Amino acid sequence: MVKQKGERVWTAPIVATVEHLGELLEDSGLDFVVGYKDAKNPAAEAQIAKETAQRQPSPSSATIPAAGGDTTAAQIKKYESFVNDRLRVDLQNTLDARDKVYETISEYLKLRNQIELLQTQNLTSLKTMMDVGCEFFMQATIPRLDQITVKIGLDVHVVLTLPEGLMFIARKEQALVKVADRYTSRAADLKAQIKMVLGAIEALLEVG
């Protein structure tokens, strides 16, 4: 923050950038600029215009590197590096993230099956084996089966009745499926980009 001599107003000489947020802004439609709250400051207004003109929106996907002026061999090497070091890595990370979502969905489906089993058999208590660590199991008794503790996210656990648990699982499953679908769409886009770049490489090889 900068305070001009003899004035009581502070100004911020830096416009915050949002490039580090990547696709988040595109998905949410949000954008913002921090600083220059004093609209009467001509220098601030000029700087805002300059910074705004320089800022470019974050691409929704990786941009194919320009290869103009390079030899054919250099262009091929540049494209191969882009595919192997960027696109394939992004694709693998996307698929790994989707697999984690599927694993979470699977855990919630197991919980749903257990709740439905408890409701069907009308059990009031249950004896089971509990893992107390390092794959060491001990006998345990669950005295009440009318309530369960469910992890709802961010390491927050809530005590729910069995019907409430089923309702929560249904909503959670729908939300997780949407997340998995976004990862699937992202993976399809990356595969298309990889195919396009490989096609460009083949074209360069034919020319060479």
Q: What is residue 91's predicted lDDT score, i.e. its pLDDT? A: 94
- 105 and 198 belong to one structural domain: yes
Clarify whether residues 84 and 187 are in a common domain.
yes
The closest of 99, 122, 105 to 170, measured between CA atoms, is 105
User: Considering only CA atoms, which of 118, 93, 65 is closest in space to residue 183?
Assistant: 93
Residue 62: which of 80, 77, 83 has the closest Cα? 83
Query: What distance in Å separates the CA atoms of residue 127 and residue 142, rounded to the nearest whole number?
Result: 6
Take residue 22 and report the two structure tokens written for it: 């990547």
In a domain, 65, yes or no: no
Instruction: Assess contact for 114 and 128: CB atoms under 8 A.
Output: no
> Are residue 87 and residue 174 in the same domain, yes or no?
yes
Instruction: Classify 122 as helix, strand or coil.
Output: coil
- Reading the block at residue 163, the tokens are 């019907």
42 lies in the same domain as 89:
no
| pLDDT value of residue 55 | 42
Rounded distance between C-alpha atoms, residue 18 and residue 117, angstroms:
50
Any domain includes 63:
no
The answer as to whether 97 is a domain residue is yes
With respect to residue 7, please indicate whether it lies within any of the assigned structural domains.
Answer: yes
Residues 175 and 138 placed together within one structural domain of the fold: yes
Residue 38 lies in a domain: yes
Domain range holding 41?
A: 2-54
Note whether residue 60 is domain-resident: no
| Same domain, residue pair 38 and 121 | no
27 and 85 housed in the same domain: no
Overall number of domains in the chain:
2
Is the same domain home to 8 and 85?
no
DSSP H helices, the chain, are 24-28, 42-54, 72-82, 88-121, 162-207
CA proximity to 169, closest of 128, 100, 91, 116? 116
Q: How far apart are CA 176 and CA 102, in angstroms?
A: 8
Measured over the CA atoms of residue 94, residue 95, residue 99 and residue 105, the dihedral's sign is positive
Same domain, 76 and 48: no
Does residue 45 sit in the same domain as residue 91? no
User: What does DSSP assign to residue 17?
Assistant: P
Q: Look-up: residue for tokens 């320089």?
A: 54
Provide the 10 A C-beta neighbour count for residue 193. 20
Rounded mean pLDDT for each run of 10 residues along the chain, 208 residues in total: 69 57 44 38 48 43 57 84 91 95 93 88 81 86 83 84 91 93 94 90 79
Residues 14 and 93 in one domain: no
pTM across the whole model: 0.59
What pLDDT is stored for residue 15 in this prediction?
53
